[in-house]
Amino acid sequence: MSPVDIKDLDLLLEKVYREGGYDFRGYRRGTVTRRLEKRLHATGRETCQDYIQFLDTHPEEYEKLADCLTIKVSGFFRNSYAFHQVAHLVLPELVSEKRRRKDRSLRVWSTACARGQEPYSIAILIAEFLGCERERFDISIYATDISRTALKEAEAGRYSPKEVNGLPKTILKNYFSHADGHYQATADMKRSIHFSHFDLTSSPQPPFMNLDLIFCCNILIYLQKQLQEHVLDMLYRSLRSQGYLILGESETLPNSLRTKLSCLDTKARIYKKVSVCF
């Protein structure tokens, strides 16, 4: 297999965007190249030019390529410190404010939910925090992803023992059923989660508004700077006044947003939207 030519790669990504409807033009080239090589090998192509010609006669390959380029690494409570801080720093303040305003809605967005571990972790976290008060709140957890394959698995909510390894026994007992060697997310946990397809990097408009809390973890590191700024600006617009944004532990805000979002925890990358006074 020949080394990937950058100019040919740009042509390929433009074709994938124009004809396949998937926009990876703003992804870091190193990430795209490593993952593209898997599809070149699988289809028996040597170069990007060969692969471009292959796409002309095999349109079903667009979805396979998109699925390969999509980052699907996930896990329950993947960044345990961040989830701990959300439970002890964000939720007490957020829920207290909701009670004070007699607002019983909680709106959360998991922006790249992969196979569902993140939104299910969020649902568990909120349920554990609210306890018996959970039924008094209208909880909506919006879980989106670019991969339709991953979304189907997320909606199914079925995980192997290895995937739930590390979860406390009480969590497994209260939020999963165990059958046929797998763990199934309960219908009660699922009812607050709404899965839908969304390409975080190509849409100019946010799909949800007035959100209390947004999780966008370990996505920005795969994007070029300009696309990072586009995504973060959209997320900022999605937040309600004094809403919260959670990023991955290696991700930071651009200068344009540092006066609009205050950092509550530098390690957990928890930010709060600054109120604008008129």
Domain 6-69 belongs in CATH node 1.10.10: no
- Per-residue pLDDT tens for 72-111? 778 999 999 999 999 999 999 999 999 999 999 999 999 9
Domain boundaries along the sequence of the chain: 6-69, 80-273
The neighbour count for residue 251, using CB atoms within 10 Å, is 17
pLDDT of residue 1 exceeding 60 = no
- Per-residue pLDDT tens for 194-244? 999 999 888 778 999 999 999 999 899 989 999 999 999 999 999 999 999
Q: How far is CA 127 from the centre of its chain?
A: 20
Mean pLDDT in residue range 25-49:
92
High-pLDDT (> 70) share of the chain, %: 98
Q: What is the DSSP secondary-structure string of 136-157? A: GSEEEEEEEES-HHHHHHHHHT
Nearest alpha carbon to residue 206 among 188, 231, 170 = 231
pLDDT of residue 50 exceeding 50 = yes
Q: Which residue pairs, CB below 8 angstroms and at least 24 apart, start in 126-135?
A: 126/91, 126/192, 127/175, 127/189, 128/87, 129/87, 129/91, 129/95, 130/95
Do 6-69 and 80-273 show the same overall fold?
Answer: no
Residue 217: the pLDDT is 94
Mean pLDDT in residue range 9-37:
91
Would the pTM count as exceeding 0.75? yes
CATH of 80-273 given 3.30.460.80, 3.20.20.70, 3.40.50.150, 1.10.290.10 = 3.40.50.150
- Per-residue pLDDT tens for 103-142? 999 999 999 999 999 999 999 999 999 999 999 999 999 9
CA distance 197 to 110: 12
pLDDT of residue 277 exceeding 60 = no
